[in-house]
């Protein structure tokens, strides 16, 4: 009986033994096709992800290459691909987690030492030199992502006690005061004045600065002076009443033509020298590690030079949270 005859007789198509089997094969194929489709989609997604990752690395490359070394720009892709992760990390960590106070000495009505001509006209004022160098040190350190607190950023006169208060209230870790020396007679040279009690961290700061200034070039290294230049038992106010390691720099004699020439010609280099010495000191004193990450849980205190002891600084409410 043909299928047509069967249907005409029974009103439905005949059930064939292989019918159910055919349906089974049909579903099996669909399942296999679905599995292949899912695998394909996963593959495409992975491919897109890897392409996207590749291009995002390439995008960050020019900045990284510029800051590290231009010579690698023409290299093949293999070393370039492995570079960004190594280079990007230090760039992110280059935020130096310490604070330095820079004090451009004198200001406002206080000119500091002055050079005048025979008619009494002022030719050069210490406060102008300390401002120029102090601001240059600030700019250099800020370009290196160091937190800088300035005692003054305009031509104003500050009380010496207020300068110390600015450094102490801001919990600065290091303090550098900039001055020019003066004397009658032909004397030249640079020196670093540190507290009379010869505190070690202050000495390290002074030594690092003098070493770097010598590298730039100075007329005469007068070394580290403990106490006041003319009285080793007394202290400059800024060394006596700052809690952190401090140094008062005499950046050559304003009365020396040689020192003035050096000061003017090497101002930017001196700023960099002092800035780099500050960063090195923060590492030497273990305030931060080589990546700039803070190691010290409290502000840096120069213990031996404190008259009123550490308890004052470490008493509740004194330490910043």
**Bridge partners, 253 (sequence order):** 181
Encode 98-127: b = buried (16+ Cβ within 10 Å), e = exposed. bbbbbbbbbbeeeebbebeeeeeeeebbbb
Determine the Cα angle at 288 with ends 279 and 130, to 5°: 30
Print the SS3 string covering 25-89. Answer: HHHHHHHHHHHHHHHHHHHHHHHHHHHHHHHHHHHHHHHHHHHHCHHHHHCCHHHHHHHHHHHHH
Min CB(247)–Zn ion separation in Å: 13
Nearer to Zn ion, 179 or 195 (CB): 179
Query: Does residue 201 bind Zn ion (CB under 5 A)?
Result: no
How many residues bind Zn ion (CB under 5 A)? The answer is: 3
**Structure tokens of 174?**
């290091």
Structure tokens, 35: 């599995």
Work out whether 199 is an interface residue with Zn ion (CB under 5 A): no
Using CB under 5 A, pick the residue from 125, 138, 179, 305 that binds Zn ion.
179
Q: Does 105 sit near Zn ion (CB under 5 A)?
A: yes
Say whether residue 127 binds Zn ion (CB under 5 A). no
Instruction: Provide the token pair at 251.
Output: 């950046």
Q: Does residue 104 interact with Zn ion by CB under 5 A?
A: no
DSSP-derived 3-state class of residue 211? helix
Residue 107 engages Zn ion in binding (rule: CB under 5 A): no
The nearest distance, CB 133 to Zn ion, in angstroms, is 12
Q: Does residue 299 belong to the site contacting Zn ion (CB under 5 A)?
A: no
Decide: is 245 part of the binding site for Zn ion (CB under 5 A): no
134 binds Zn ion (CB under 5 A): no
Q: Name the one range near Zn ion by CB under 5 A: 44-52, 95-103, 104-112, 305-313.
A: 104-112
Q: Write out the residues near Zn ion by the rule CB under 5 A.
A: 105, 112, 179
């Amino acid at each position: 009986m043909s299928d047509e005859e069967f249907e005409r007789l029974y009103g439905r198509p005949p059930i064939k033994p292989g019918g159910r089997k055919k349906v089974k094969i049909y579903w099996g194929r669909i399942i296999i096709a679905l599995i292949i489709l899912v695998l394909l989609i996963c593959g495409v997604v992975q491919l897109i992800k890897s392409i996207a990752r590749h291009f995002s690395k390439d995008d960050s490359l020019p900045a990284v290459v510029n800051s590290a070394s231009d010579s690698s720009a023409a290299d093949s892709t293999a070393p370039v691909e492995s570079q960004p992760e190594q280079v990007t990390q230090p760039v992110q960590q280059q935020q130096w987690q310490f604070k330095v106070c820079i004090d451009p000495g004198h200001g406002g009505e206080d000119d500091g030492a002055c050079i005048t001509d025979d008619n009494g006209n002022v030719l050069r004022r210490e406060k102008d030199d300390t401002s120029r160098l102090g601001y240059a040190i600030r700019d250099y350190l800020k370009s290196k992502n160091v937190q800088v607190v300035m005692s003054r950023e305009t031509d104003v006169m500050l009380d010496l006690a207020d300068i110390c208060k600015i450094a102490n209230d801001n919990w600065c870790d290091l303090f550098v005061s900039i001055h020019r020396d003066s004397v009658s007679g032909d004397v030249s040279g640079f020196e670093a004045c540190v507290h009379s009690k010869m505190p070690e961290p202050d000495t390290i700061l002074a030594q690092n600065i003098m070493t770097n200034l010598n590298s730039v070039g100075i007329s005469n290294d007068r070394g580290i002076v403990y106490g006041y230049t003319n009285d080793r038992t007394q202290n400059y106010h800024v060394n006596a009443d700052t809690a952190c390691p401090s140094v008062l720099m005499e950046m050559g004699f304003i009365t020396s033509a040689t020192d003035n020439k050096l000061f003017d010609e090497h101002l930017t280099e001196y700023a960099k020298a002092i800035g780099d010495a500050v960063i090195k000191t923060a590492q030497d004193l273990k305030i931060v590690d080589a990546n700039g990450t803070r190691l010290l849980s409290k502000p840096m205190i120069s213990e031996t030079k404190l008259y009123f002891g550490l308890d004052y600084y470490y008493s509740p409410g004194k330490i910043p949270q």
